Amino acid sequence: MSRRKKEISDETEKHAEDETVDEVKNIKMKGKRKMKKKKKYI
């Protein structure tokens, strides 16, 4: 049981890491898009 629980916790940790990475990528993309729009207006 302990081994199976550890595997599940590892999987959840990996999923959480993937989610945070996706969030960071989305924030970076949004920032780049905003910068591009500002440059166009200038």
Position of tokens 């970076």? 28
Threshold 0.75, pTM exceeds = no
pLDDT at 3: 79
Q: Where are the domains of the chain?
A: 1-42
pLDDT at 42: 53
Residue range 6-31, pLDDT digits in tens: 887 787 777 667 777 788 777 777 76
Cα distances (Å, whole numbers) of residue 25 to 2, 3, 6, 34, 40: 35, 33, 29, 14, 23
